[in-house]
Amino acid sequence: MKTIQVAEAIYKQTGESTKVNEFGMREMQAKAFEKRNAQYLLLKAPPASGKSRALMFLALDKLTNQGIKKVIVAVPEKTIGGSFSDTNLKSQGFFADWSLNDDYNLCTPGLDNAKGKVEAFHNFMKNDEKILVCTHATLRFACEQIEDGSFNNILVAIDEFHHVSADKETSILGRVLHGIMTNSNAHVIAMTGSYFRGDGVAVLLPIDEAKFTKVTYNYYQQLNGYTYLKTLGIGYHFYQGKYTSAIAEVLDTNKKTILHIPNVNSGESTKDKLNEVDLILDIIGEVDHQDHDTGVIYVKRDSDSKMLKIANLVDDSVDREKISTYLRTMKKEDDMDIIIALGMAKEGFDWPYCEHALTVGYRSSLTEIIQIIGRCTRDSSNKTHAQFTNLIAQPDAKDSEVKISVNNMLKAITCSLLMEQVMAPHYNFKPRFPNDDSIYTPGEIKIKGFKEPSTDRVRDIIESDINDLKASILQDDQMIRALPGTVDPEVINKVMIPKIIQMKYPDLTDLEIEEVRQHVVVDSVIKNGEIKEIGDKKFVRMAGQFVNIDELNIDLIDRINPFQEAFEILSKSVSTGILKAIQDTIDSSRIEMTPEEVRILWPKAKEFKERTGRNPELNSSDPLEKRLAEAVIYLRKIKAEQIQK
């Protein structure tokens, strides 16, 4: 089976995101520096946008100009600490260099709770040193013996902030941060390339999140501003049996690739990770030798005898430290061809030459997927196209685990849909009024009946949280079952999405929920479509039809399932048996009918009868007709109950 491309984004190669200003700052860094006086700053920016250096600029300004006495930088794992090593900033126009005393770089070998590291942290809090870098874990352990008030006039910077959780019962780091923010005047800078948590728990409590000034630099700004990268593809590839039998179909050994094999506890794993690596090496070619000093495996490719350099990060023996060191220090394109990993080579891992991120198995965490995709989206002269491919098990109707396979397939597709939305161009939506002949500004789309934000709260959600909200929508179990076309689009857009918005933002009024709802639906539909210019007119493709952009209205958009196209592509790519297995799985966990849905479906049921001369039937093969029949039955039941009363 060939790879199904869910989306392919095209970028303009403007070079803007990699240019530097007179202070040596790239576009994102300058945007963050404009907000340098904020006590609490939340920086959301993609991998490779320069968040580490942005923090250096901000921290040095706070130390020099804002009365901050010390800076603590916390990273999730030791390897990422290398991003905060000594950096010459003066040579590019900034007023100071970033300099770290080796005694207070605690991202060194050894346990995070080692006595020496915790003591070094405590010593730092008492002496005149200015900068400390440690892991999240060391920060947690050290804070067990430090009063919150000790953080007065200190900047606490937390990298990869999505590791924090608002659930203070389970997240010690979340509890530490809440205490510091509540009981001291500390400044906090939080940085993340993906503000999603796989467990669906909020990163911050609303009361804490409201304190943060947000700086958002989106994926499109980053990728559109590259010099070399032109396109990014997102796709998936199905296999049956063991995944190792399908690797050869998707692994192009001419492309620099990071291959992530499945977790040993997952259904896709053979439970023998080392043997899986050996099988993959055999598929590529014949192992010639392994370099004793570096750990690099040299494999003679079967097709042409070319010698490939391969890194095995799956084997956690002593050799992994050797290969990890080699990967951190390699400089040239020819230094590596393929990296095989399991839990490594994700966040913080930098290999600009990577062209293909190939991931085996469904990943429940959107954060993990974003981090994996980020490994291949670095700008590099060796590539104009980057590709993310998810190799996932095709459900087998005869398999007792078919329901799990179907659910994993649907979730994998919805993850890809979210990434399509995240990587797409940004648009500004405005209401269109009668006799409005004003000239469009670039990226502006006007829509009849569209509601503009009426409060700062709604504006903040739209400007900073729209992708986070889409993640919540696409991770919702009922939404996942509805998106393949089993529920009427108007029900999805007018009933299901508002409920998710209300759960995520319980403080919003009904009007605010409607304003957010309209924006997320319009944004999703337009980004899933395609805009074309014909003469002096613009058209947008929605639900397979091109609509004059001047005739767009909110009622028309509300009648479109923003994400159904991906499932239509799926339906053309799998057998009828697989499609039936998918439908049976969805049917086995029906979405409960609600009065709100009935209000939308009842007029459609009447229209259906007028058009066909019959009532909608429960045993129809059309899922939407079945849903109409359920609505009619639901309404009859309600009427019967009312008569009895």
Q: Where are the domains of the chain?
A: 15-219, 228-393, 423-589, 592-645
Of 348, 419, 357, 346, which Cα lies nearest the Cα of 389?
A: 357
Tokens of 113: 């709770």
Q: Tell whether domain 228-393 is in CATH 3.40.50.620.
A: no
Of 50, 44, 60, which Cα lies nearest the Cα of 21?
A: 50
Q: Measure CA 361 to chain center.
A: 17
Which residue in the block uniquely carries the two structure tokens 């529920």? Answer: 487
Of 198, 105, 220, 159, which Cα lies nearest the Cα of 347?
A: 159
Average pLDDT (379-401) is 83
- Please tell me the distance from the alpha carbon of residue 85 to that of residue 210, in angstroms, as a whole number: 32
pLDDT tops 60 at residue 199: no
Phi/psi-derived region of residue 485, left when phi > 0, alpha when psi is between -120 and 50, beta in every other case? left
Q: pLDDT digits over 447-506, tens only?
A: 999 999 999 999 989 988 888 888 888 888 888 888 788 889 999 999 999 999 999 999
Which DSSP letter does residue 265 get? T
- Regarding pTM above 0.85, the answer is no
Q: 168 vs 113, 164, 176, 435, 504, CA distance in Å?
A: 20, 10, 9, 54, 18
Residues 6+ apart with CB under 8 A from 385: 229, 230, 231, 232, 233, 355
Residues 6+ apart with CB under 8 A from 291: 297, 298
pLDDT at 477: 84
**Confidence class of residue 198 from pLDDT cuts 50, 70 and 90?**
very low
* pLDDT, averaged across the chain: 87
pLDDT at 458: 95
- Please tell me the distance from the alpha carbon of residue 474 to that of residue 418, in angstroms, as a whole number: 7
Please give the CATH architecture assigned to the domain spanning 15-219.
3-Layer(aba) Sandwich (3.40)
pLDDT tops 90 at residue 186: yes
Query: Residues 554, 500: contact at Cβ < 8 Å?
Result: no
pLDDT tops 60 at residue 150: yes
Average pLDDT (229-251) is 90
Of residues 192 and 288, the one with the higher pLDDT is 288
- Please tell me the distance from the alpha carbon of residue 21 to that of residue 216, in angstroms, as a whole number: 19
pLDDT tops 80 at residue 366: no
Of residues 418 and 360, the one with the higher pLDDT is 360
- Please tell me the distance from the alpha carbon of residue 107 to that of residue 84, in angstroms, as a whole number: 10
pLDDT at 409: 75
Radius of gyration over every alpha carbon of the chain, rounded to an integer in angstroms: 26
Q: Measure CA 65 to chain center.
A: 35
Tokens of 35: 């907000």
Of 215, 208, 164, which Cα lies nearest the Cα of 45?
A: 215
Phi, then psi, of 298 in degrees rounded to 5: -100, 120
Average pLDDT (329-354) is 90
pLDDT at 590: 64
- Which three-class secondary structure state does DSSP give residue 635? helix
**Confidence class of residue 427 from pLDDT cuts 50, 70 and 90?**
confident
How many helices, marked H, and strands, marked E, lie in the chain? 23, 20
Q: pLDDT digits over 503-552, tens only?
A: 999 999 999 999 999 999 999 999 887 888 888 788 888 877 788 888 89
pLDDT at 371: 81
Average pLDDT (408-435) is 81
The b-or-e profile of 250-280 (16+ CB within 10 A means b, else e) is bbebebbbbbbbbeeebebbeeebeebbebb
Whether 15-219 and 228-393 share one fold: the answer is yes
Q: How many CB atoms lie within 10 A of CB 398?
A: 8
**Confidence class of residue 8 from pLDDT cuts 50, 70 and 90?**
confident
Q: pLDDT digits over 121-136, tens only?
A: 999 999 999 999 999 9
- Please tell me the distance from the alpha carbon of residue 8 to that of residue 313, in angstroms, as a whole number: 29
Q: Which of 144-148, 204-208, 618-622 has the lowest mean pLDDT?
A: 204-208
Q: pLDDT digits over 25-75, tens only?
A: 999 999 999 999 999 999 988 887 889 999 999 999 999 999 999 999 999
Share of the chain above pLDDT 70, in %: 90
